[in-house]
Structure 1
């Protein structure tokens, strides 16, 4: 029998587990960033967590809920990097084996980080979709347990970031959330519905990897090429569980260019003293996008952007020194 979709009560229980291992992350304002955006914006600094990403929350919750078979035969998953580190971190907590299949496009720094956490890294395929197919074959041939990046336990772990967020600032008008597989946005909607029903949740995805946006827009799971430079957003398919949660709850879904994501990363670096990878900067890119109905200066209350990860590749770091394309006021 399939497990029921997550509820807010499930999120609260997950939060109790995650809080035993991970500290709360800061929710901060940055005056220089406010000046650049033209309004007050709060940044949720999830990138300061172990592994440098909010996704470690999923691995910590997973570690507490492993079945006997998962403990005996080990975990197998696929990822471009942050989910990989999350499962590796959780497996190390639980004392079980983990094998992570990563596409050749995954940044070397992320592959190295996964190996440093004690997991075995297998490089297969050029895309996340191809790596996922190999991971499932490997699980079937070895008896290992395949952990989908949108496993219910993972979604619940990710949702704890938003329970924490609304506890820190219950009067948010909007929260901008990057979307790859959609687990973070799904968690945001679960927490929002219970704690801040008037708050808008705005999903942000790279236009160069629009599978999640297409799935949400059509109501059916869609695939699409992923050519984005932001590896954390490079998913090639929508995922059923997050899409079911997002279907009637997500208020808005914005596509942004990779150049806009790079500009947002430069703003976070220069105006908020924050190193963000592409996926971590996407939320701010969504706020700055003219496609969003939530416009700076017209909020009527505080707005938050999720800085979800700091695992920037060498190429991403190099691009931080390039000129901004967007026009912002002088500091």
Structure 2
């Protein structure tokens, strides 16, 4: 099933009682630095500290009571893990999350604190999807994939609805939206919403330069994988390859993809902390990094930047502040 704008609208109603309608903020210093108007969609302030709660809650809420009762399984580097754990807890159902053993401690601790069972794996030589599917086969639980799931994509698309609605309320129109991209679920959902409500606005995906599978895949029109599974400070954006469902949407809705270096991402984390007074993790800051590093020219334009997550370990924040 490929989700539609109607699924995104239904998701907005479904998640409304529990999800935060996050603010769209501006900062004069940032505007002056890039020569344009920048609006920051602060999913760092979302429940569990990232956008992932939206899709996780929508997917679990859409299940029948009988399906939920068998439990939920997910695989995640940390943000989807916490989103699923929080959503499952709200429904009073068990959740098991397969997470890399080198995931940020803040994300491992946060997932356990929310009541989920964590099963760790080695990212370099173990297959998290195979491990999750084995748990599903053994327990009968329902898999909620972090990005290749139509209800997850629809839930993430509510970010795009909120962006379009907030701009309309202000009487403004954005030239572009910059969206952090790993597996492509959030960008696909946002793309659906922006195409329906603000078709003149271009959606650009932003990814780590060593994990630029989306940019390469869009260029050739078919799904390509990343050559490696480890090696970026942007732990939230290291999916093996684009999800099939999201890729089919992003091919139609995305204007293109940009990439930033780890140093670019860390400098953006430092800028967000010092100047914007916001805590953003490296993967959540790549859109901001694209602006600050000149990968996207904002001069004379209105640009929305999605800050997708703020679950950062203190050691990484310290490293970013030293870099920036």
TM-score bracket for the superposition, by shorter chain length: over 0.9
2:311 corresponds to: 311
Q: Are the aligned partners of 2:232 and 2:262 in contact in 1 as well (CA < 8 Å)?
A: yes
2:177 corresponds to: 175
1:201 corresponds to: 203
**In 2 relative to 1, CA 102–129 (structure 1 residues): closer, same or farther, beyond 3 Å?**
same
4+ long deviations beyond 3 Å = 288-292
CA shift, 1:212, in A, is 2.7
SS in 2 for 1:191: helix
Q: Are the aligned partners of 2:20 and 2:47 in contact in 1 as well (CA < 8 Å)?
A: no
Cα distance in structure 2, aligned partners of 1:203 and 1:288: 16
Q: How does 1:131-142 map onto structure 2 within 5 Å?
A: 131-142=128-139
Match 2:64 to one of 42, 63, 67: 67
SS in 2 for 1:6: coil
SS in 1 for 2:165: helix
1:31 aligned onto 2:28? yes
2:151 corresponds to: 153
Cα distance in structure 2, aligned partners of 1:65 and 1:244: 22
Listed as ranges, the gaps of 5+ residues in structure 2 are none
1:52 aligned onto 2:80? no
Listed as ranges, the gaps of 5+ residues in structure 1 are 325-331
Q: How does 1:211-230 map onto structure 2 within 5 Å?
A: 211-224=213-226, 225-226=228-229, 227-230=231-234
Cα distance in structure 1, aligned partners of 2:259 and 2:55: 25
Q: Are the aligned partners of 1:33 and 1:267 in contact in 2 as well (CA < 8 Å)?
A: no
Larger deviation: 257-266 or 37-46? 37-46
1:109 aligned onto 2:106? yes
TM-score calculated relative to the size of structure 1: 0.91
CA shift, 1:63, in A, is 2.6
Q: CA RMSD in A?
A: 1.7
Cα distance in structure 2, aligned partners of 1:155 and 1:296: 28
1:327 corresponds to: none
1:281 aligned onto 2:285? yes
Q: Are the aligned partners of 1:129 and 1:235 in contact in 2 as well (CA < 8 Å)?
A: no
1:237 corresponds to: 241
Structure 1 or 2: more helix by fraction: 2
Count of aligned pairs: 317
SS in 1 for 2:210: coil
Cα distance in structure 2, aligned partners of 1:48 and 1:129: 32
**1:189-244 CA distances to partner (integer Å, 9 max, x unpaired)?**
10111110000111000012223333322222222113211111111122101100
Q: Are the aligned partners of 1:47 and 1:53 in contact in 2 as well (CA < 8 Å)?
A: yes
Cα distance in structure 2, aligned partners of 1:149 and 1:128: 20
CA shift, 1:26, in A, is 0.8
